[in-house]
Amino acid sequence: MNDLPKLIAIVGPTSSGKSALAVKLARCFDGEVISADSRQIYKGLDIGTGKITESEMHGIPHYLLSFVSLPRQYSVALYKKAADGAIRKILDKNKLPILVGGTGLYIDAVTRGIYFPDVPPDSKLRKKLEKRNAKMLLAILEKLDSARASKIDPQNRRRIIRAIEIAKVLPRTPKKSVQPNYDTLFLGIRRSPVELRKRIKNSVHDRIQRGLIQETKKLLKSGLSKKRLAEIGLDYRFAIEALGGRLSRQELIEKLETASRQYAKRQHTWFKRYKDIHWFKNEKEAKQLVLQFL
């Protein structure tokens, strides 16, 4: 019998409905939710990251949303420490912790006993790499860590530079597997390509309608640089172009939909390698899996 604390982890591509399902399961099984999203950790990045709203939470406590101030960088090692702390708080209340998100590294760090060294920034290396474009940086990363290069956003220079920085250290300090801290049930939301495409389209239109452009303008007025904001997320990168008059509203929509579909594909590639994820089709099936697990 496994005596480890029980944890539910909900994974899947962007716009698949992970957050809504987490709330439903939390209400059904007396749980609380921990976000595993590398963009939603930041304060002020709400619409452009698809962050769940307070009304959508339906009173369910959520952890690790909007707790990091920009432009601070945040590592996987720091996230794991914060997530473990949130899970302990939930368990201390005799409630069920539910981890939800699409950032594979965050999910793996918490659930799979993988040790991620907190590699310090290398300012000298960064200065050198900053002179390269995304294509050149990706080629460097492919030589150092082809697996990571195949899953990373090929246009996100900040993430590619950070991955190179880590890859140059990891050969000397390899990832170490340690015993997992939790008995985890992995739930994966399965959507057909047609359904996911439709959900992504609706999500993009919703974010623009809710004020993506206005949020981007506000963030830039607060002093955040265009470069830093563009590095953080796809939505902001294209919203900045729209603000500069380089994209029409329709072109913005098309670019966001295409980029979101590409991101969803990378997420699917990340998660499909794990055979212990239970891919389900509907809420009823997910609830049945949780009942059997508990």
Return binding residues for ATP: 12-19
Q: Which residues are annotated as a binding site for substrate?
A: 14-19
Angle between helices 104-111 and 76-92 (to 10 degrees): 60
Q: Omega into 71 within 30° of 0, i.e. cis?
A: yes
Tokens 């990891």 correspond to 170
Q: Which residues fall in the annotated binding site?
A: 12-19
Cα separation, 14 vs 101, in Å, equals: 9
CA–CA gap between residue 281 and residue 289 (Å, rounded) = 12
Sign of the CA dihedral with 16 first, then 204, 261, and 14 last: negative
The single residue listed with the structure tokens 């999500």 is 203
User: φ, ψ for residue 74 (rounded to 5)?
Assistant: -135, 125
Instruction: Identify the CA nearest to 24 among candidates 292, 294, 282.
Output: 282
In single-letter form, the type of residue at position 45 comes to: L
